[in-house]
Amino acid sequence: MATLNFGLATTNLNATSGFRTRTKSWSRGKSTIVCIGGGPIGPLDWDPEGVLGRPNTGHLARLEFKRRLEKDSGAREAFERQVREEKERRRALRDSRDVPDTPQDLIEYLLDTEAQEIEFEIARMRPRFVVLFK
């Protein structure tokens, strides 16, 4: 059996049977991407005087992180604005309420108060509770 090897293609000749086969034998290994500044052999001399310093990696990740932060900051600002508006609305609503004087009116007032405001109203009227329900 004789084998002829031409680098990219291998030809096998079988003299006994007269049958010839041709197979492609690509001997490519795993591809390696080498960045400036270092490789499998060692550091490359792209800046022999060291003027530019060592190359930085992860610049794509930094850009993506910056974009996410900008998007989140826009959403964060909108959320903070909405929270400020809600606090202002609640404060204006609290200031507009008249506090009742009698125990029956006070209980009715607390029953009509929103659930989110009940804790604030109880804290605000604590001195009246002590006087009225003693």
Q: For residue 99, which of 120, 133, 119, 124 has the smallest C-alpha distance?
A: 124
Output 134 or 15, whichever has higher pLDDT.
134
pLDDT of 21-49, one tens digit each? 555 555 566 666 655 555 555 555 567 77
**What is the average pLDDT score of the chain?**
74
35, 57 Cβ separation under 8 angstroms: yes
pLDDT of residue 73: 76
> What is the number of structural domains in the chain?
1
pLDDT of residue 9: 47
pLDDT of 117-127, one tens digit each? 889 888 888 88
The verdict on residue 107 lying in a domain is yes
**Which residue range forms the structural domain that includes residue 117?**
98-134
Distances (CA, A) of 96 to 19, 33, 85, 91, 105: 102, 69, 17, 9, 17
Share of the chain above pLDDT 90, in %: 7
The verdict on residue 76 lying in a domain is no
The verdict on residue 132 lying in a domain is yes
3-state secondary structure of 65: helix
